[in-house]
Structure 1
Amino acid sequence: MPQTQSHIKNSKIILRNRHLNRKYKLLIKKAIKTYLLSVKDAINDNTQEHLTICINNLSLVYKTIDKAVKKKILHKNTASRKKSRLANMIN
C-alpha cells in the first residue's frame, strides 16, 4: 500500500493508463483478427471482392496501430514489424 500522497496519486495514474492501454491493445487485436479472417476467406475464394475487403481491413489495422504509436502505447518499431508482417500475408 502506498504511504505518501505522491505514491497514492501515482498509483491512480498508473491504473488509468493501464485501462487505456488495454483498451487500445484490444482494439488492435480485434482489428488484426478481422483482417486475418478476411485473408483466410480470400485464400479460399480467389475473387476481387475478397481482396478489396482484405485491403480495407489492412488499412483499418494500420490506422489503429498508428494511433497507438501516436499515444505511445506501442513502440514505433513494434508497430512497423506488425504492419510489415500483416502486409506480407496479402502478397
Structure 2
Amino acid sequence: EIMDEELIRDMENLQYFHAPGVNTAVVGTVAGMLLGYGDWRRPMIGLGETADGLKVSLRCSRLLAFDGIHFGSIMRRVAEKVGGSGG
C-alpha cells in the first residue's frame, strides 16, 4: 500500500518513495500527500516508472520554499544531466 510508512526511504537531506504501480500522472500528488507522513523539513521525491524511463516529482513544504532554495531549478539541472527534462 502506498501510504505504508515503510515505502518512504530516508536520506540525510531528502526522503523518497518508489511506486512502480502508481499512475505517473499522480506521482506529484502522492508525494505531496506523503509529506504529512514523513519529515516535512526535507523534500519528498516520488519515483514512478514510465514506458521510456522514470518520472521524478519533488514536493516540499512552503517553509522550505521560502528558504530561497529553488527546487525547480535543481530538478531541471539534474534532469538535463541524465538526458531528461523538467523542473
- TM-score, normalised to structure 2's length? 0.31
Structure with the higher strand share, 1 or 2: 2
- Ranked by relative contact order (alpha carbons within 8 Å, sequence separation 6 or more), the top structure is 1
